[in-house]
Amino acid sequence: MIRAGRLVAIPTETVYGLAANALDQAACASIFAVKRRPADNPLIVHVEDALQASSLGELGELGRQLASTFWPGPLTLVVKGRRGNATVALRAPAHPVARQLIALSGRPLAAPSANLSGRPSPTTAEHVAAELGTLVPLILDGGACAIGLESTVVDLSGPTPLILRPGAISEEMLASYGVLPATEGAAHAPSPGTRYQHYQPAVPVVVIEDGTGRTAAEVIDEWADALDRAGEVPALIAVGQARERRWQQRCFGSNAELATGLFAAMRELEADATVLLVSAPSAEGIGQAIRDRLRRAAGGAFHRAGEVPNWDLPKGD
Ligand code: AMP
Ligand code: MG
């Protein structure tokens, strides 16, 4: 099917992807059509290894080093393209099903997340089927994704190596390679994809951060109560202890477990709730990637525990 220019949804260790032969322009155009993705948001190309990557882009010394350390795995490298594109984003995924499809088809696979543009990424084959259904002729079911958040994107095409999107390969893991967090390279253009609304469930997301004197964990039940009194149906997502049983909730044992389950939790809870209350995780390791996705899901702002919340909720669609 890949060789015939059709689309195949594939499991990867990050999220499910909607894959097509990266060398077939018409096939890639159908990815944009199915996802309703803005035309100026480029796709990541999935390759077997650094050798295949080198046929599509110039990895350079640092790119080869990063690839040999982190591939196959959740790291995407934006490098100078070799086939007419100024730049190309490349990643060798670790999931055995994705790897086999790349190897068997003999093609690099262009694959963004297999969701409608703007929605949370799918982390199971069922999510893909529910959202894209008959628009995708084949979904390969590889079970639930181990990481649950999209890859870290590092730009090696400019003067300074820069993180464009945080992911499981964290800022801390990249620091010794001289790769800078995006905020420190303000002069650099952001990744095209970061301009758009992203990761948004059908109902508003309210994220609570620890404040001075009070923690998010302390206030989340109070806030849920206030929302309930205002006629909303709150549901909770948090790391730590289960909350008051009145609320539908997904509580996770660690940041890594929250990363794995966050998008699935959003998809499950949006069915009955009218607002999702999330307590923001700490920023180290994968916490930074979770906070990035939550910030976009919430439309930009976090609230602080201890401040009086203003329930002027953005309307969901
Ligand atoms: P996804 O939709 O999850 O596959 O996201 C792909 C991400 O990689 C988006 O943020 C894109 O904007 C980014 N990306 C892909 N290709 C490039 C490129 N050539 N330069 C910069 N960012 C890119
Ligand atoms: Mg996506």
**Would you say the CB of residue 167 lies under 6 angstroms from ligand 1?**
no
Instruction: Look up the domain containing 250 and give its range.
Output: 205-304
Residues 149 and 263 in one domain: no
**Would you say the CB of residue 44 lies under 6 angstroms from ligand 1?**
yes
Residues 93 and 176 in one domain: yes
Atom of ligand 1 nearest to the CA of 155: 21
Residues 16 and 109 in one domain: yes
- pLDDT tens per residue across span 148-194: 999 999 999 999 999 999 999 999 999 999 999 976 444 555 666 66
Residues 98 and 137 in one domain: yes
Residues 231 and 280 in one domain: yes
Residues 177 and 223 in one domain: no
The proportion of the chain whose per-residue pLDDT surpasses 70, expressed as a percent, equals: 92
Q: CA-to-CA distance for 32 and 45, rounded, in angstroms? A: 14
Residues 241 and 162 in one domain: no
**Whole-number Cα distances in Å, 79 to 23, 56, 157, 180:** 17, 9, 5, 16
User: From ligand 1's centre to the CA of 205, what distance in Å?
Assistant: 24
Q: Is 271 exposed, middle or buried (0-12, 13-18, 19+ CB in 10 A)?
A: exposed
Reported confidence tier of residue 48, pLDDT bands at 50, 70, 90: very high
Atom of ligand 1 nearest to the CA of 193: 12
CATH number at residue 147: 3.90.870.10
| Nearest ligand by distance to the CA of 122 | 2
In a domain, 82, yes or no: yes
Say what the pTM is.
0.94
Q: If you average pLDDT over residues 25-36, what whole number do you get?
A: 97
- The pLDDT score that the predictor gives to residue 312 is 60
Residues 167 and 270 in one domain: no
**Would you say the CB of residue 122 lies under 6 angstroms from ligand 1?**
no
Of 132, 148, 181, which residue sits at a domain end? 181
User: From ligand 1's centre to the CA of 121, what distance in Å?
Assistant: 14
In a domain, 38, yes or no: yes
**Whole-number Cα distances in Å, 5 to 2, 99, 107, 188:** 5, 18, 11, 35
In a domain, 214, yes or no: yes
Residues 212 and 110 in one domain: no
User: From ligand 1's centre to the CA of 87, what distance in Å?
Assistant: 10
